[in-house]
Amino acid sequence: MRFVLCLIVILSCSFFSGSVEASWDRITLSVASDQRFAWVYEPEEAADALAVVVVLHGHGGRAQRMARVTGFNALAEQMSFLAVYPEGKGWAGLPPQSWNAGYCCGYSAKKNISDVAFIVQLVAELKQNFGVDAQRVYVVGASNGGMLALRLACEHPELFAAAGVVAGSMQTQGCQPKEPISIISLHGMQDQLVPYLGGESQHAKESRVDAAALDVVSFWAQHNQCEKAPIEKNTDTWVSLEYPHCRLGTAVTHFGLKHQGHAWPGGKRGWLLGDKPAEDLLASTVIWNFFAAHPKTDK
């Protein structure tokens, strides 16, 4: 039994680990008396004014593991943008790391960790030191990280041109964004951790009721004053809703993946025994294409 446990630990470490590449930079910030960290992947041939994609791991994830799960570094090289991976908080710096997205999740929500302030300060740091295009700053997250991305869209839409969420839901009450912001969401219809149709998670260790994926999409479509009737597409593996012609050039797009569980479509498993990602849609490419098409416009 002890051998089996050791083997699991070894396999888990091997699965999650990743070498620190030469083009990684680490940012250290002091936020509300906490020391916070983020990893920045800068492409070798960087443009003068770089777009930024802030990528938020899920509950129990890690910053550099999120790079492996999503494959955003390869896209950053190809499309010349900064891929930024902040690190969540755990008790005494120990796993599982989480984000305070409102009602969810884990240590960070229970202790009301200043994660929104952390990301706001991180964006300011990036603008100051990395030659960032302020009109093309984006945030996306998986699961608990996606929930924080939506909280940031609620509270600081002025900082981001668009926000993305994969396998997550809104965990804020009374969301009242000050301006429109483009939103893209992808959600597995077989997700049991954050149910596509909403309701109580079947596997969450903490009691939580999630909003249905389409209710979240509808909220943002109404907020952005989009056309009421979305453009619908339906394939064997996914359905999509696209709300065009929203206020100030914003858009709202949703993909529901028919055979997908709680995973990053087209990516790697988030953990050794996690749901297998569907391969028929590459989430990171879809999200980046959406982001690139929706920079922030002047009011």
3-state secondary structure at position 209? strand
Which pTM was predicted?
A: 0.90
Number of structural domains the chain divides into: 1
**Amino acid in position 270:** G
Sorted by sequence, the CB contacts under 8 Å of residue 174 that are 6+ apart come out as none
Sorted by sequence, the CB contacts under 8 Å of residue 150 that are 6+ apart come out as 101, 163, 165, 168, 169, 170, 171, 172, 175, 183, 216
**Domain range for 274:** 26-293
**Residue 155 in domain:** yes
Rg (the chain; Cα; Å):
18
What's the burial of 279, exposed, middle or buried (CB within 10 Å: 0-12/13-18/19+)?
exposed
**Residue 3 in domain:** no
Element (H, E) at 187: strand 182-188
**Residue 117 in domain:** yes
**Residue 157 in domain:** yes
Q: Name the nearest CA neighbour of 247 among 185, 214, 294, 290.
A: 294
Residue 205 pLDDT = 66
Query: Helix, strand, coil proportions of the chain in percent (round to 5)?
Result: 30, 25, 45
**Residue 110 in domain:** yes
Residue 9 pLDDT = 34
**In degrees rounded to 5, what are phi and psi of residue 98?**
-150, 175
**Residue 75 in domain:** yes
Residue 45 pLDDT = 78
Q: How far is CA 8 from the centre of its chain?
A: 28
Residue by residue, pLDDT tens for the chain (299 residues) are: 333 333 333 333 333 333 344 478 999 999 998 999 999 999 987 777 899 999 999 999 999 999 999 999 999 999 999 999 999 999 888 889 999 999 899 999 999 999 999 999 999 999 999 989 999 999 999 999 999 999 999 999 999 999 999 999 999 888 999 999 999 999 999 999 999 999 987 666 667 889 999 999 999 999 999 998 999 999 999 999 999 889 999 999 999 999 999 999 999 987 767 889 988 899 999 999 999 999 998 76
DSSP state for residue 98 in the 8-state scheme: B
**Residue 261 in domain:** yes
Residue 60 pLDDT = 92
Six-digit token string for 189: 């219809």
Q: What is the DSSP string of 48-63?
A: SSEEEEEEE--TT--H
Element (H, E) at 242: strand 238-243
Six-digit token string for 264: 């990053």
**Residue 20 in domain:** no
CATH number of the domain residue 170 falls in: 3.40.50.1820
Q: Name the nearest CA neighbour of 218 among 208, 228, 233.
A: 228
Residue 110 pLDDT = 94
Six-digit token string for 191: 């997700």
Decide if 255 contacts 239 (C-beta within 8 A): yes
